[in-house]
Amino acid sequence: MATQKALEGKTSLVTGASRGIGFAIARKLGELGSRVSICSRDPQKLESAATELKRHGINVFAMPANVTRPADIDSFVRRTESSLGPIEIVVNNAGVGYFGPSQEASVADWDQVLDTNLKSVFLMTKAVAPGLIQRRAGHIINIASLAGKNAFAGGGIYCASKWGLLGFTQCVAEDLRAYGIRVSAVCPGSVATEFSPQGTHAGKDASKMLQPDDVAHAVEMLVTQAPQSFISEVVMRPTQKP
């Protein structure tokens, strides 16, 4: 396993990082010595997250951004590199859910989920890839889900977004592999966060669920693996079914 400061001098970017999984990942990367850039749509929660990270001695840049908007993505990437230096690690974590019969969903429901969970990853990849290619190094890590592999009632739109994300991740990994860039997916099962208290988490025992730090640990493993190693996908389940 990596030493404490394995990412010293590197810059990491994490979307949807004001709480939950994204915040845990940002904190872990910072603890490993990385400078960390975070975004969220909620300015107040983002400010609180940045303050907490700084309290732990982490060099943080925080910017409110809607990752479904190309202009927001481009600005976030540009300002991150201006503030912290060239980006080497990107974690696409921002996500939303819709859980209910697909035939009852609106077009707006579909657009919100697909734009946030899938289109945003495409936009971020386009924004960061030129720099990563030029430097011939880097990591893009997409936080997917077991919902990208398993169907369940009421999960049509969410599953579609995560199945698409896994397919996109695998293809981009092949596109960028020759440049020394590793593109990976992390697929957790149910994680104890505020993400979906009335959706996929309903009726589950939170103490038996995965925790945000478990997902952050998987990201740590990916960004600290040996140069000749490429772990393309991590599938995570709780030890006991919640």
What is the chain's length?
242
pLDDT tens for 52-86 read 999 999 999 999 999 999 999 999 999 999 999 99
pTM, entire model? 0.94
Strand locations in 22-177, DSSP E? 35-40, 60-64, 87-92, 138-143
Q: What is the predicted pLDDT for the residue at 2?
A: 43
Q: What is the pLDDT of residues 25-58, one digit of tens each?
A: 999 999 999 999 999 999 999 999 999 999 999 9
User: Where do the domains of the chain lie?
Assistant: 11-236
pLDDT at 198: 47
The distance from CA 98 to its chain's CA centroid, rounded to whole angstroms, is 18
The b-or-e profile of 110-129 (16+ CB within 10 A means b, else e) is: bebbbbbbbbbbbbbbebbb
98 is catalytic: no
Task: Determine the Cα angle at 88 with ends 223 and 119, to 5°.
Answer: 95
Output the average pLDDT for the chain.
Answer: 94
Instruction: Considering the candidates 98, 158, 163, 168, report the single residue annotated as catalytic.
Output: 158
The reported pLDDT for the residue numbered 237 is: 95
pLDDT at 88: 98
Provide DSSP, 121-139.
Answer: HHHHHHHHHHHHHHHT-EE
| Residue closest to 110 by CA, chosen among 68, 171, 51 | 68
In CATH, the architecture of 11-236 is: 3-Layer(aba) Sandwich (3.40)
pLDDT score for 230: 96
Question: Cα separation of 226 and 33, whole Å?
Answer: 17
Question: Rounded CA gap, 189 and 25, in Å?
Answer: 16
* Residues in the chain, pLDDT under 50: 1-3, 197-198
pLDDT given for residue 203 in this prediction? 65
Percent of the chain with pLDDT over 90: 89
